[in-house]
Amino acid sequence: MDIARVFFVTHRQGLVLRGESPLLDERDLIALGLDATRGHRIGELGGATTWVCSLAHDAFEAPYSAIGLRALHAMVDAAVFGSAMRAVQLAGFVDTHRFCGRCATPTVPVEGERCLRCPACELTSYPRISPVVIGLVRRGDRALLARSPRFPAPFFSTLAGFVEIGETLEEALAREVREEVGIEIGAIRYFGSQPWPYPHQLMIGFMAEWTSGEVRVDGVEIAEAHWFRAGELPLVPPPMSIARQLIDAWAREAR
């Protein structure tokens, strides 16, 4: 029995929609000038297999349009958004690993695995996942929130940074906090995790306690940072982010 296939089509702006839906079929691919046989399988969704194809041109008209992944979050349910995130990450991986990093031979997909392999030297590449620690630091009835000059909006969030080679997650968080705001932390406790496809991060969330030092921002990664009480919060990240989940969990407890 043939299993239905649905497609996500990635675009430089994010994903292609038909009307308000990111779930396309083979007729849509034909209309967009894409070849379904060149798609990459993602997984399953609602009894259908999900695939991703990439669109390199802007020559499409109504009912097709493009939308960013963040904007899509408010339009679809969690299952569809999760598949869309994987589609964007997989398409990015395929685009950046078209050739072997060792001998420059064109790579090929491997049946049954999510990877690309060099047919000449057999170097196998898997999708990149970059671990990022993110933590809410507490001091009594206050929490430390900071504003980065790179934020697209002037909101305050929790501190975060990439894990370096040879570090534990806890060591990475303590280092990032020390480097960015000059304080020491302890009692680091795991909170939860979230895939974050911008472009290929895995956010690992923690709660932590202030142990010593006064806030001194580095002026590069962090523009300003302050201690806030739960009833006096500034503008914070949207609910879809683990940063907001950390803040909300602390605020509920603090109140």
User: Which pLDDT does position 1 carry in this prediction?
Assistant: 41
Q: What is the pLDDT of residues 40-86, one digit of tens each?
A: 999 999 899 999 999 988 878 899 999 999 899 989 999 999 999 99
CATH annotation of 130-254? 3.90.79.10
For 145-168, what is the mean pLDDT?
Answer: 93
For the segment 215-224, the average pLDDT, to the nearest whole number, is 94
Tell me the domain boundaries of the chain: 5-96, 130-254
All residues at 6 or more sequence positions from 112 whose CB lies less than 8 Å from its CB, including other chains: none
The DSSP result for 61-108, as a single string, is -TTEEEE-HHHHTTTS-HHHHHHHHHHHHHHHHHHHTSB-TTT-PBPE
Q: What are the angstrom distances between the C-alpha of 50 and each of 69, 77, 86, 115, 234?
A: 17, 16, 10, 16, 40
Average predicted confidence (pLDDT) for the chain: 94
- pLDDT, average across residues 220-249: 95
- Is pTM beyond 0.85 here? yes
If you classify domain 5-96 with CATH, what class do you get? alpha beta
pLDDT of 251 > 80? The answer is yes
* pLDDT attached to residue 2: 53
- Domains 5-96 and 130-254 equal at CATH topology level: yes
